[in-house]
Amino acid sequence: MTETLDELLDILIAPHATLRAKARPVGPADDDVVRALLPRMFTTMYKAPGIGLAAPQVGHSLRVAVVDLMPDDKPVPIAMINPEIIRQSTDLATREEGCLSLPGQYADVTRPAVIRVRYHTPSGERAELDADGLLGACIQHEIDHLNGVLFVDHISILKRNMLMRRLAKDQKAKRQ
């Protein structure tokens, strides 16, 4: 079977072990894989629908993430290869987060209000982006995925356990 660029990828659901592994940096030998993966990640993210997706969520242990908040319902895709937060504010912001790997589960998460992220673009250029609000939270969320961290790791153990039990129950009901 040949894969097409618009073929959807399977999104891994917690507690899948791949979601807890730290992704490895992308190197020159990964160029072809990343070139093929990025359009499929965007297609999968848009279809889900979501605003961010990290490669580990689709079974690739590479430091690659895509984000698109679709301002004014127009695509503004951002593809980040080997992203790293190089600056963050001491001011914090709390907002409700969800995750394609924890479908239907939401919780308030507190993160730095403003970040600067450095990454490589798909064409290999180095880029930096200052982000706050929803974009800042989304980028931090996706970088967490690259480090094997889920948004539920930022909430109390009690809330996390409740969420994970509810997710397991929902997934079991879905399979029946």
Please list the active-site residues.
142
- State how far the Cα of 69 lies from the Cα of 127, in Å rounded to an integer: 19
Q: Which structure tokens are listed for 1? A: 């079977």
Contact predicate 120/127, CB 8 Å: yes
For residue 122, the SS3 value is coil
DSSP H stretches of helix in the chain? 31-47, 133-146, 157-175
Paired strand residues for 85: 117
